[in-house]
Structure 1
Amino acid sequence: MSSSPTEVVRSLLANTSDLATLETLIAPNATYISLNYRNPTLQKILPYAGSHPTEGPLAIFNTFATVHKIWSQEAFEILALFGSGGEDVAVFGRFTYRSRTLGKASTSPFSIWAKVVEGKVTYMQFMEDTLDTTSTFKVGGVGRYQVFEGQEEFEV
């Protein structure tokens, strides 16, 4: 009996540290996108960030292994998980991670878009509030911003 696309994605999220299980749920040439397409600056903080085309289960396994190495997970809650009736699956939720280096916590919303074809995830994109999650590693300094033309600059 084959699993529905939503069941496949739910099982993937429940087994991110089990490579053998991920290999049964994710196509060998699946694409995984974590947080952005490519951002070398962000990759200095979160080395798994960016596009991982055709890297399959290992890309997702390595991402979550690194996440658990640099943060302790205090909460991971799926608020909504649904499918289109076809191959698309959406997941919305929130998590709280605490940096292992500085002990700072971040509670962030997250969203996932996955495609499941013939019982295997072939594409997965994971998004979160990276400004907040990366702040758990910030030890000093400020950034200067100006959003609107003519607006006074501000520091964060």
Structure 2
Amino acid sequence: MSEQQQAIDKALKTKAPKDVVLAFLYNTDKSRVAIASEKLVAEDAIYTSLNFNNPELKQIEPWAGTSTGRDVYIYTFSNVGTYWTIDDFQITDILAEDETVAVFGQFTYTSVYAKRTFTSPFSIKAIVKDGLITYFQFMEDTYASAASFRVSGEWTIQQNADPKLNFTVSETTAN
């Protein structure tokens, strides 16, 4: 039996929030996320990815924002595995208190088409009730993840009332 399946079996047996979240995270690759979601995610679970509602970011990362339903989990994690190669994913800390689980770590992804690699910290807040994830909020360095798709262009930045202090950020100035 695989380590991923063992994690699911343990979560189904204990229903402990920490076990449920870990089992889900161990099974988020494209080939397993549907199975994990069916067993570990409530049918009406809420998923908040990166922000509550940002239409511009949603154009870049279509799963961004808040959505409801088990299928959102499958859609999100399947697409992550389509848009990026997952080079590394490390959980450094996991804390659980009652139904709430907090997970911290870092990951390194490479965009499939632009071939840009980035490393980001991540944090997750999850709520588990009766052995099922009912809420999942995933936060990361959204600027780095979106920029991994950049193939050209620049932004003019104004952080100050004085427009003379404006500057541009582009592929060549980012390094």
* TM-score normalized with structure 2 length: 0.83
Which is higher, the Rg of structure 1 or of structure 2? 2
**For residue 81 of structure 1, what is the aligned residue in structure 2?**
94
Structure 2's unaligned 5+ residue stretches are 1-12, 170-175
Out of 148, 152, 164, the residue aligned to residue 136 of structure 1 is 148
- Percent identical pairs in the alignment equals 39
- Name the structure with the higher helix share: 2
**For residue 106 of structure 2, what is the aligned residue in structure 1?**
94
Superposed counterparts of 1:7-156, under 5 Å = 7-16=19-28, 17=30, 18=32, 19-53=34-68, 55-56=69-70, 58-84=71-97, 86-150=98-162, 152-156=165-169
Which one is further off, 41-50 or 140-149? 140-149
Q: How many residues align?
A: 153
In the TM superposition, what is the alpha-carbon distance from 1:154 to its structure 2 partner?
Answer: 2.0
Structure 1's unaligned 5+ residue stretches are none
* TM-score normalized with structure 1 length: 0.92
Cα distance in structure 2, aligned partners of 1:126 and 1:52? 12
Secondary structure of the structure 1 residue equivalent to 2:35: helix
Which one is further off, 18-27 or 129-138? 18-27
Cα distance in structure 2, aligned partners of 1:61 and 1:93? 21
Cα distance in structure 1, aligned partners of 2:47 and 2:112? 25
Give a deviation string over 1:85-138, Cα, whole Å, max 9, x none.
x11100011000001101110101111000011111100000110101111110
Secondary structure of the structure 1 residue equivalent to 2:154: coil
